[in-house]
Chains A and B, each alone.
Chain A
Amino acid sequence: MTAVDGDFGRRLVTAKPWMALLVLGTGLLFSAGFVSANDSAGANAADPELVPIRPPTGRTTTADHSKFEQLQGPFSSGPEVTAACLGCHTEAASQVHGSVHWNWRYEHPTTGQTLGKRHALNNLCLGIVGSYERCASCHVGYGWRDEHFDFTAQNKVDCLVCHDRTGTYEKFPTGAGHPAYEDTMFRGRLFEAVNLAHVAQNVGQTSRETCGGCHFHSGGGDAVKHGDLDSSLLAPSRVVDVHMSPEGLDFNCSTCHEFSGHDQAGSRYLVTAAPQHGIAIPGRESDRPACQSCHGDTPHARGIHDKLNQHAGFIACQTCHVPEIARGGLATKTLWDWSSAGRRSEAGVPVVERDEDGHIVYDGMKGNFEWRENYPPVYRWFDGTMRYTEAGERIDPSRPVDINRPEGEPPRNGARGNGARIWPFKVLEGHQPYDDVHQHIVVPRLFGRDETAYWRGYDWTRAIEAGMAEALRTGQTDAGFSGSHGFVETRMYWPVTHMVAPADMALSCESCHSVGGRLAGLAGLYIPGQDRHPLIETLGWAAVLLTLLGVLGHGLMRAVMVIRRRRPQPAAHTGDGV
């Protein structure tokens, strides 16, 4: 017996078998319940039967415009049609006058910056100053030829570009917003004369065709700019866009981008990055077109850990549910290098080179391009505010300049969300002209009818002089041009939000929870599976290895000693041989 004091052991009972069965049974029940709850909820969420039927077209209006006397025509110009429209839709032009589609001007409430196409720089066609006739092919107006365009003129509003249902109305590329009234060629393509009366009699609601006419082709061609908006969305498969696919929900653009008084929901200057209002209920504040306004804030099956819904508190839906950029089969532009522009044939025609896929990789008017399709976005903390580098703002040309930069910091620990979430972006690399004396980005005049325009004279200095003079006149900047230019590397960030994949094609956990995962390098995160403490890792494995070697050595020595002991010894020396 020992020094252990007295009485504690007296109550010792022998364990009963039922106790063992109890804990095992409870554990199994527990586990089975968790797993099956998770599975059934998951199956529900992806039920392909839950596809609503789209109401037949034609029931959305009480008027047949082809019966209207005012629309019988003939019309000789767009503004004539507009005047006819305004005869009944008396407030429509004033409403359009208040929209960003008309003004191309956006006062940012957070940064105070004046943006919109009239003011913001970009690294595609750089800026609109002086090139209005060309750029206005995506303006909802007629006749924007120069800085004297009258933004208060009612009949200059282009109703048809958005409300055409015939598919025959198209603005002529260099027509200052007008369609081709006669058959006209442009860079090898025929633009047929439009039948305005036919279009006017067949107007209706906007469609993906009308919105896409500009937004799918922004940046100078199909799929160029956004990476998540291109003509594949006219009739995408369910895999490409689960919402817009005719096999799926068959949404139009305006299903999510709701319009009210010709003003639409959704902005890329001020994105609703972290919606707060949950499901959109009529009469209450709504975050349309945010995913949450239909899906709510906790759309995932809870499962046993609810980690997906918790992720949704700091990760945008798009980050997992738009797994790649340019998923529709059309490559998007990833590099636009203006510095190599200007090569022309002996006849003076700009050289055009294509790669084996038919993508233009060099255009004498525009420089070098690179294209990519179906590739991962980059990820940034984003609170919805895009801050722009403004014309005339001093830059550091020794490093790539962010033409726009998503703002937002990781949420502080110990505090509720700060409105920033991890968002996916398409990054467009650029190489564009800047004033290498004053060190700011410059806007050249690209298009025009005289030799100062780059696409006529192919002289950067004159084009930049003309562009900056125009920028001064329009108030885009008060910075001058020194007369000396270089080319600086730039970047633009385009939020990725369209081309939402079906749920089972969303990113898997491993996409981020693995070494070198998609969020590698993003600040403010510890990601299990990706992050580790190098010292713990080294010491941990060293300890494991040493222990293993220790027991192996120990065991080996024991074995050797046993064998040595068993070896028969010469009888003369010992009498205890085995």
Chain B
Amino acid sequence: MSRVLIFTRFERFWHWTQAVLVFGLLFTGFALHGTHQWIGYDLALRAHIVLAWNVIGLWVLAIFWHVTTGEWRQYVPTSRGLPVVAMYYAYGIFSGETKPFVSTPAAKHNPLQRLAYFGFKVLLAPALWISGLLLLFYAAWRPTALGAALPLAWVAYVHVAAAFGLVVFLIGHVYMAATTGRPWYAYLKSMITGYHEAEVAPPGAERDAYTPQVERSPKP
């Protein structure tokens, strides 16, 4: 067994803070949408806005971190290894095959994760933010040319559709990230402790070569 630090303190803080904010946004957002009436509309709106500003603030910080550390490359999608990982989840996982990917600090996410997270960051999140900010500041742009071109309903449709996309993403993410490790909770644990406990050189680990690695300089 070896213990490798996969998720730095910042990444864990960012992940779990975002998780709390996103669940809060979904809860208050579906209250605003009229899906449930567990909290009043006024409270839901105020909470939704506060949570939204916080998640935006968090992302500004996270983007800064990813750019300055170069860690953003962890999310560049790759097709290499994708079929192998996809086949593993579609078939091999049932017959007890070893996962064809091992997290390392240089390649934290398997190709399927890369694709999913990339989609979340590039499509879902911006769709939610841009439409959300437009909804928040509707009164300012309604009388302008943008208001003439863009009906409020369309903005709201994008926001709601992206929110559904977010729910779909979360269900898949929670299932895959929290239950498909070995033991089943291994990934969840490493997202809490930061460390990944892996058998050294598991069989098939060489397939990691499919996945682009982030180079890093040795710690001083």
> Which residues from chain A sit less than 8 Å from chain B, CB to CB?
1-4, 6, 8-17, 19-20, 22-24, 26-27, 30-31, 34-35, 38, 303-307, 310, 313, 412-416, 508-510, 513-515, 526, 528-533, 536-537, 539-541, 543-544, 547-548, 550-551, 554-555, 557-558, 561-562, 565
CB distance from A546 to the nearest CB of B (A): 8
Q: Are B213 and A1 in contact (CB under 8 A)?
A: yes
Are B10 and A15 neighbours in the complex by a CB distance under 8 Å?
yes
Tell me, rounded to whole Å, the shortest Cβ–Cβ distance linking A28 to chain B.
8
B215 lies within 8 A of A558 (CB) = no
Q: List the B side residues contacting A547 at CB < 8 Å.
A: 167-168, 171-172
Residues on B with C-beta less than 8 A from A531 are: 153, 156
Which residues of A sit under 8 angstroms from B68, Cβ to Cβ?
11, 13
CB distance from B87 to the nearest CB of A (A): 14
**Is B161 in contact with A536, judged by CB distance below 8 angstroms?**
yes
Our pick among A3, A23, A414 for the contact of B149 (Cβ within 8 Å) is A414
Q: Are A4 and B171 also in contact (CB < 8 A) when A510-B41, A530-B34 are?
A: no
Contact pick for B45, options A14, A22, A307, A565, CB 8 Å: A307
Q: Cβ of B142: which chain A residues have Cβ within 8 Å of it?
A: 413-414
- Interchain CB contact (< 8 A) of A26 among B45, B57, B70, B209: B57
22 sampled A-B residue pairs with Cβ under 8 A: A2-B209, A2-B212, A4-B212, A8-B70, A9-B214, A9-B217, A11-B68, A12-B214, A13-B69, A15-B8, A305-B49, A310-B139, A414-B143, A509-B40, A509-B45, A510-B41, A531-B156, A541-B164, A547-B167, A547-B171, A554-B175, A562-B96
- Is B157 interfacial (CB 8 A cutoff)? yes
**Across the interface, do A4 and B73 meet the contact criterion of CB distance under 8 Å?**
yes
Interface of A, helix, strand, loop or mixed by DSSP:
helix
9 pairs of A and B residues whose beta carbons are closest in the complex: A414-B148, A15-B10, A540-B164, A509-B41, A551-B175, A20-B13, A310-B139, A9-B215, A8-B70
Complex formed: what's the CA distance from A14 to B54 in Å?
23
* Further pairs besides A536-B157, A555-B179: 11, Cβ < 8 Å: A10-B217, A15-B8, A23-B58, A26-B57, A27-B54, A34-B49, A413-B152, A532-B33, A540-B164, A543-B168, A544-B164
Query: CB < 8 Å: which of A19, A532, A539, A561 contacts B65?
Result: A19
The docked-state distance in angstroms from the alpha carbon of A4 to that of B54 is: 34
Residues from chain B with a CB closer than 8 A to the CB of A510 are 37, 40-41
Query: Once bound together, how far apart are the Cα atoms of A6 and B214, in whole Å?
Result: 9
- Cβ-defined contact, A2 with B151, below 8 A: no
A34 to B49, CA, bound (A): 10
Chain A minimum-CB-distance residue to B56: A27
Q: Which of B11, B94, B165, B179 has the most chain A CB within a 10 Å cutoff? A: B94
Considering the chains assembled together, what is the distance between the CA atoms of A415 and B145 in angstroms?
A: 8
- Inside 8 A of A30's CB, which chain B residues have their CB? 50, 53-54, 57
- B: residues with CB less than 8 A from A are 8-11, 13-14, 17, 32-34, 37, 40-42, 45-46, 49-50, 53-54, 57-58, 61, 65, 68-71, 73, 89, 93-96, 106-107, 135-136, 138-139, 142-153, 156-157, 160-161, 163-165, 167-168, 171-172, 175-176, 179, 209, 211-217, 219
Docked Cα-Cα span, A529 to B150, in Å, equals 20
Contact of A533 among B8, B9, B139, B157 (CB under 8 A): B157
Knowing A510-B40, A529-B41, the reply to whether A23 touches B33 (Cβ < 8 A) is no
Given contacts A38-B46, A540-B164, contact A15 B9 (CB under 8 A): yes
B160–A532 CB distance below 8 A = yes
Chain B positions within 8 Å of A303 at CB level:
46
Cβ of A493 to closest chain B Cβ, rounded Å: 27
Closest to B21 in A: A27
How far is B53's CA from A133's CA once the two chains are assembled, in angstroms?
69
Distance (whole angstroms) from the CB of B41 to the closest CB of chain A = 4
**A413–B46 contact, CB under 8 A?**
no
Known: A1-B215, A6-B215, A13-B68. Contact between A414 and B168, CB under 8 A? no
Number of A-B contacts (CB under 8 A): 200
CA distance in complex: A19, B40 (Å): 35
A27 touches B57 (CB 8 A): yes
Closest to A20 in B: B13
A299 to B: closest C-beta gap in Å = 16
Tell me whether B94 and A557 are in contact (CB under 8 A): yes
- Residues of A near B135 (CB, < 8 A) are 528
Quote the shortest CB–CB distance from A198 to chain B (angstroms): 55
Give Cα A412 to B144, complex, Å.
11
Residues of B within 8 A of A539 (CB): 164
Closest B residue by C-beta to A34: B50
Q: Is the CB of A15 within 8 A of B214?
A: no
| Contact, CB under 8 Å: B153 / A526 | yes
Structural contact, B96 and A528, CB atoms closer than 8 A:
no
Docked Cα-Cα span, A20 to B194, in Å, equals: 15
Closest to A14 in B: B8
Q: Please, how many angstroms separate the alpha-carbon atoms of A550 and B148 in the complex?
A: 42
Query: Nearest Cβ in chain A — how far from B69, in angstroms?
Result: 5
Within the complex, the shortest CB–CB distance from B153 to chain A, in Å, comes to: 4
CA distance A540 to B157 in the complex (A): 11
Q: Which residues of A have CB within 8 Å of B73? A: 4, 8-9
Contact A27/B156 with A19-B65, A544-B164 known, Cβ cut-off 8 Å: no
Report how far A12 CA is from B108 CA in the complex, Å: 14
**Residue of A whose beta carbon sits closest to that of B184:** A558
Contact residues in A for B17 (Cβ distance below 8 Å): 23-24
A540–B156 alpha-carbon span in the complex (Å) = 14
Note all chain A residues with C-beta closer than 8 A to B161. 536, 540
Asked whether A2 lies within 8 Å of B213 as measured between CB atoms, the reply is yes
Which residues on B sit within 8 Å (CB–CB) of A540? Answer: 160-161, 163-164, 167
Among A27, A313, A529, A536, contact of B164 (Cβ-Cβ < 8 Å)? A536
Partner of B32, one of A12, A24, A529, A544: A529
The distance in angstroms between the C-alpha atoms of A30 and B138, with both chains bound, is 22
Docked Cα-Cα span, A310 to B163, in Å, equals 25
Shortest Cβ distance from B50 into A: residue: A31
Residue in A529, A541, A548 with the greatest tally of chain B CB atoms within 10 Å: A529
A565-B96 contact given A15-B8, A304-B46, CB 8 Å threshold? yes
Given contact pairs A31-B50, A558-B93, A12 touches B217 in the complex (Cβ within 8 A): yes
Q: Which residues of A contact B71 (CB under 8 A)?
A: 12
In the complex the two chains form, is B148's CB within 8 Å of A415's CB? yes
> Nearest A residue to B43 by beta-carbon distance?
A509
Q: Is the CB of B41 within 8 A of A304?
A: no
Which of these, B54, B95, B144, B152, contacts A31 with CB under 8 Å?
A: B54
Please, which residue of chain B has its CB at the minimum distance from the CB of A560?
B94
Contacts of A508 in B (CB 8 A): 40-42
Q: Are B32 and A551 in contact (CB under 8 A)?
A: no
- For B46, give its contact among A15, A305, A310 (CB under 8 Å): A305
Q: Across the interface, name the chain B residue whose C-beta is closest to A543.
A: B168
Q: Which of B40, B94, B145 contacts A558 (CB 8 A)?
A: B94
